[in-house]
Amino acid sequence: MWNKVKNILIKSISSLILSVIFININHSTSLAKILTINLEELEFYIPNNVSQEIQDGVYIISCAENSNYVLDVAWNSLDWGGNIQIYNRHGGANQKFYISYEGDGYYKIANVGSALIMDVENGAQVNGTNIRQWEDNGAVAQRWKIIKNSDGTYNFIAQCSEKALDVNGGVFQDGTNIQQWDYNNSIAQRFNLEKTEFLPEEVVSIKKATNYDVALDISNTTSEDGKELQLWEENGSLAQRFEIQRVKENEVRIRTAASGGWLTEKGTKNGSPVVQLGNSSTPVNDANTWEVIWNNGITFKNKESGLYLDVNGNSTENGTKIQVWEKNNDQSAQRFLVNKEHLIKDGWYEISSSLGTTLDLDHAGSDWGVNILTWQKSDQNNQKFNIKYTDSGYLITTMYGLALDVENGSRDNGANVRQWEDNGATCQRWWPELLDGGYVRLKNTNSGKYLNVANGSSELGTNVEQYEENNSKSQMWKLEPTTFVSGWFSMNGAMYCADPVTGQLVKNCTRVDPMMTDPAQFGSLYDFDAEGRATWHLPTVNDLPGGTGPSAPIPQLVGDQRQRTLQLALSRIGCPYKLLEAPTGFVCDGLTAWCITNATGIKFKDTNRLDDQDMSWQHKYIREHNGVKTDISQLKAGDIIFWGDPGRIENHATYGARHISIYYHDGIMIHAADPAHGVCEGRVQDEINAFGDLIDFGSPYIDTSKCEIPN
């Protein structure tokens, strides 16, 4: 049996007719006939595979035209509906797919990072339908025929539509969407299959596949040998970071960042705990070796006992014991998501030496060139450093927002480390390396040498330098999360505001928000008193030259993030209620996505169009980044409010939230209300009456609340 598929390339040749001569020759007669063929009607066929040709396993699916681009789940999404696109390969789990044969010539393709299935949206049969990831439901929209071409490339044909997996427009660049289209075997539809490992040797998190809000965790990030593994809400700390070491194909050891030891089963019976044990010198043994197996998520089978890594009682409660247990029927307690992570979560840290001293800014000076040394721990701001990931290495800044810098970019042993203006130089970037006991080494990107206490001295005031690797205590640092003392305070007779994100100290209100770099940006939103201090006020339409509505210009934004958001929302009052019409029309969550994204630089949207519907994603983003509140007396200007069914939101239902708005002031908000009213102001209480429960509200902003200019 053959399946009929039209060639779209041939269809593009309009009304071309060829005449060919068909000559039938036999031993006695030559007969010539004229056969007329209309190429618009010409059809060709794809074989219906009846046996398995692709081995079950993990693959990278790269574009045949440019193999640097591979299929990728956008934004490393773990959610239903996460978009499939192409992106430059980086080897993350969101770029790996487990292909398994389902019979009758069809395959299921699961993303390794999310355990969700490649799916034709809504099982549609039209060209251009989006390809996404979705819960495994056994539908034909999730089954694919994989056809091998003579050049070794592959086509993927959806069972639901008999259309091919297709790179939109044949454009090979980061973020190009994957869709379905009539099969034409063009460059946009040819892919390579590259067999690969489940887990590369890298730093990862290990989350519960059926509830990725919780992760494997070492209690209190303790380095205690024999400490039991537990489940805890995901927080990105070193307690939830693990380093994979490959023993052989699909067999690994799992090293904890908390101690440098290995996840090891302690006992070979059902219910035996899993603990961190040993250090980097501990040899490979069966108790600390795990076989990696795919079962709608990754499962870990201990080599010694044959039992599986298991969440006790399949619970999601903080502190739940992680144990080993025999394979069970549904295995939901034994399935995990393993994804590449940065070793260090962005934030404020005290950086303590194993010599008993702490990294310190000499005299807390704010000038370029002030020296870095060690001192006794004091919990003062001059011993607090902001660590932030960049593609070229971690940027480590002092309380003044100045970077930890190797003087003059030297590559020499003993070169001094100081604070200096962040200029993006590699001598200001550092890579952490995991050591035993919960310590890290900090390697300078420019020189390849390590942050080092001079002469290995524990004396107070010892200079900090760079030095080649020496495996000594002078290069062992422990990162202890801390809280920067921010808000308004006086120092040396001047008023300051500390930005908790960048660490910048702001003197007399010349900078109060990470988005602001020029004091002139304060504009009319700030009033300065005789002492040079400012008062914050809400934007109004008077701050918006050009008025409001669909034809109004986008305002020149001034002020902090909340003020910028409100300026944008105010400027759209009068726009109609329309989907995908920004900036001249909006639905409710399209308005919030457009305002927040343009005001803050945060992409407040999971898909490509900023004015499309994505309400539940926005709620999840706020909940995970800054948390949500329910006491409406705590509403602040610029907060985002959600109405709907709280139970469905908690269960991550797609439409748990039914309405969304931006809080303005005094019980008033701005929202895209409905087709009759468009974008308008409304009262919070009126919307509670109209839409039911006010679920909660929160802030999507980088947390600058403590350094906003006070009312």
How much is the pLDDT for 647? 52
Q: Dump the DSSP string for 372-439.
A: EEEE-----GGG-EEEE--TTSEEEE-TTSPEEEEGGG--STT-BEEEE-----GGGEEEEEE-GGG-
470 and 379 both lie in a single domain: yes
Q: Which of 536, 569, 599 is the last residue of a domain?
A: 536
700 and 557 both lie in a single domain: yes
CATH code of 217's domain: 2.80.10.50
Is 329 inside any structural domain?
Answer: yes
590 and 531 both lie in a single domain: no
CATH code of 701's domain: 3.90.1720.10
191 and 312 both lie in a single domain: no
Residue 378 CB-density burial (10 A; 0-12 exposed, 13-18 middle, 19+ buried): exposed
Query: How far apart (Å, rounded) are the C-alpha atoms in residues 178 and 144?
Result: 15
191 and 211 both lie in a single domain: no
Is 617 inside any structural domain?
Answer: yes
How much is the pLDDT for 380? 79
366 and 317 both lie in a single domain: no
Q: What is the pTM of this model?
A: 0.66
Contact by Cβ (8 Å): 275, 223: no
161 and 287 both lie in a single domain: no
How much is the pLDDT for 690? 62
493 and 562 both lie in a single domain: no
Query: How far apart (Å, rounded) are the C-alpha atoms in residues 651 and 669?
Result: 27
Shortest CA distance to 428 belongs to which of 454, 414, 447? 447
Q: What is the mean pLDDT of each run of 10 residues along the chain (711 residues)?
A: 35 33 36 42 52 90 96 91 93 95 94 95 95 94 95 96 96 94 95 93 94 93 95 93 94 96 96 96 97 95 97 95 90 92 92 96 80 90 90 90 94 96 95 96 98 96 97 96 60 48 48 37 43 59 86 83 90 93 92 90 73 77 86 86 65 60 91 93 79 80 47 31
Query: How far apart (Å, rounded) are the C-alpha atoms in residues 460 and 466?
Result: 18
Distances (CA, A) of 399 to 270, 372, 490, 634, 710: 51, 12, 15, 30, 21
Q: Which of 306, 340, 374 is the last residue of a domain?
A: 340
Domains contained in the chain, number: 6
532 and 545 both lie in a single domain: no
Is 32 inside any structural domain?
Answer: yes
**Domain around 334:** 203-340
Is 355 inside any structural domain?
Answer: yes
273 and 419 both lie in a single domain: no
Query: How far apart (Å, rounded) are the C-alpha atoms in residues 646 and 153?
Result: 48
Is 220 inside any structural domain?
Answer: yes
Is 235 inside any structural domain?
Answer: yes
70 and 183 both lie in a single domain: yes
Is 52 inside any structural domain?
Answer: no
361 and 409 both lie in a single domain: yes
How much is the pLDDT for 156? 97
Which DSSP letter does residue 320 get? P
Is 50 inside any structural domain?
Answer: no
